């Protein structure tokens, strides 16, 4: 989803001048979110359902009790893809940027995610240009015995499942591009499903 559409860049650049005038910038902000064992909470991007701010850098440190993991379900997802400056990034633990397993923008609801342990960081970064409404997700504490259960037609990306047909399609769909490894000359992995 990291596609540049040069043909529309000039128009978008012009529009972004308008956007800059009506937006404000946010300093880096960190919020702790503690979820009781087996409980759940909602996490919402700044200003939702209105346009999120430009130059935002907001981090949520999500934690739950020991012997539990964190399961993420998305309800809304609209993160501008122009200029590739707006992203939601997620990783295991509390060390922001370490052990990252997810990064996305776009308008497709991401898959359900499952952490490895009882702590997870989520960071929402936006650039100084176009914006959209952002995201709404549920973070649920689940027993640590919970395992990712991908169906036979899905590929296991470690923390989430994707459609199996996305394997070896020459576009990274699992974070880090693990779905494009060991593809040989295969055009698609349909033979593997
Ligand atoms: C968040 O939690 C960390 C570690 O427990 C703590 O050092 C920090 O002060 C907390 N931040 C806020 C804003 O509560
Ligand atoms: C969460 O549910 C699991 C399984 O039902 C249970 O074993 C565990 O004790 C629960 N955790 C809490 C904190 O209640
Ligand atoms: C956080 O992760 C970075 C690498 O991503 C590492 O260099 C650093 O030591 C880690 N910090 C802590 C406190 O673990």
Read off the pLDDT of residues 48-58 as tens digits, 9 standing for 90 and up.
999 999 999 99
pLDDT band for position 27 (50/70/90)?
A: low
Bridge-based pairing of strands 29-35 and 57-64 is parallel
What atom of ligand 3 comes closest to residue 97's alpha carbon? 5
CA atoms within 13 A on the CB side of 97: 2
The neighbouring-strand residues paired with 116 are: none
pLDDT: which is higher, 187 or 133: 133
How high is the pLDDT of residue 186?
54
Burial category of 164 from C-beta neighbours within 10 Å (exposed 0-12, middle 13-18, buried 19 and up): buried
The Cα–Cα gap between 101 and 56 comes to 21
pLDDT value of residue 16? 52
Residue 64 has pLDDT above 90, yes or no: yes
- Protein residue closest via CA to atom 14 of ligand 1: 32
Proximal ligand: closest to the CA of 64: 2
What pLDDT does residue 83 have? 81
How far apart (Å, rounded) are the C-alpha atoms in residues 40 and 180?
A: 34
Centroid of ligand 3 to alpha carbon of 92 (angstroms):
12
Q: How far is the CA of 61 from the centre of ligand 1 (A)?
A: 9
Pocket test for ligand 3, best of 89, 98, 176 (most atoms within 8 A of CB): 98
Residue recorded with tokens 């999500």? 62
pLDDT of residue 185: 62
Residue 2 has pLDDT above 70, yes or no: no
Q: Which residue lies with its CA nearest to atom 12 of ligand 3?
A: 95
pLDDT band at 182, cuts 50/70/90?
confident
Q: Report the chain's mean pLDDT, rounded to a whole number.
A: 87
- Residue 184 is predicted with a pLDDT of 80
User: What's the whole-number mean pLDDT along residues 161-185?
Assistant: 91
Higher pLDDT, 41 or 84: 41
Query: Sign of torsion, CA 124 43 29 96?
Result: negative
Q: What is the CA radius of gyration of the chain?
A: 18
Q: For the segment 112-166, what is each residue's pLDDT rounded down to a tens digit?
A: 999 999 999 999 999 999 999 999 999 999 999 999 999 999 999 999 999 999 9
Q: How would residue 19 be classed by pLDDT, with cut points 50, 70 and 90? A: very low
pLDDT at residue 92 in the model: 98
* Range in 4-18, 88-102, 110-124 with the lowest mean pLDDT: 4-18
Mutation probe of ligand 1 site: the residue of 32, 60, 96 with most atoms within 8 A of C-beta: 32
Q: What is the pLDDT of residue 76?
A: 98
How far apart are alpha carbons 41 and 30 in whole angstroms?
A: 17
Cβ(31) to ligand 3 under 6 A? no
């Amino acid at each position: 989803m990291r596609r540049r559409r040069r043909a529309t860049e000039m128009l978008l650049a012009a529009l972004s001048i308008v956007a800059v005038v009506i937006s404000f910038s946010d300093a880096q902000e960190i919020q702790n979110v503690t979820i009781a064992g087996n409980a759940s909470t909602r996490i919402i991007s700044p200003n939702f359902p209105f346009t999120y701010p430009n130059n935002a850098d907001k981090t949520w440190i999500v934690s739950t009790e020991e012997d539990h993991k964190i399961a993420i379900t998305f309800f809304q997802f609209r993160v501008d893809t122009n200029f590739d400056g707006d992203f939601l990034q997620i990783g295991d633990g509390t060390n922001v940027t370490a052990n990252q397993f997810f990064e996305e923008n776009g308008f497709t609801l991401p898959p359900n995610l499952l952490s490895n342990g009882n702590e997870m960081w989520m960071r929402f970064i936006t650039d100084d240009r176009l914006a959209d409404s952002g995201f709404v997700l549920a973070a649920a504490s689940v027993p640590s015995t919970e395992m990712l259960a991908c169906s036979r037609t899905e590929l296991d990306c470690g923390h989430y499942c994707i459609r199996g047909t996305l394997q070896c399609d020459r576009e990274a769909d699992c974070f880090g591009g693990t779905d494009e490894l060991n593809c040989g000359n295969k055009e698609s992995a349909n033979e593997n499903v």
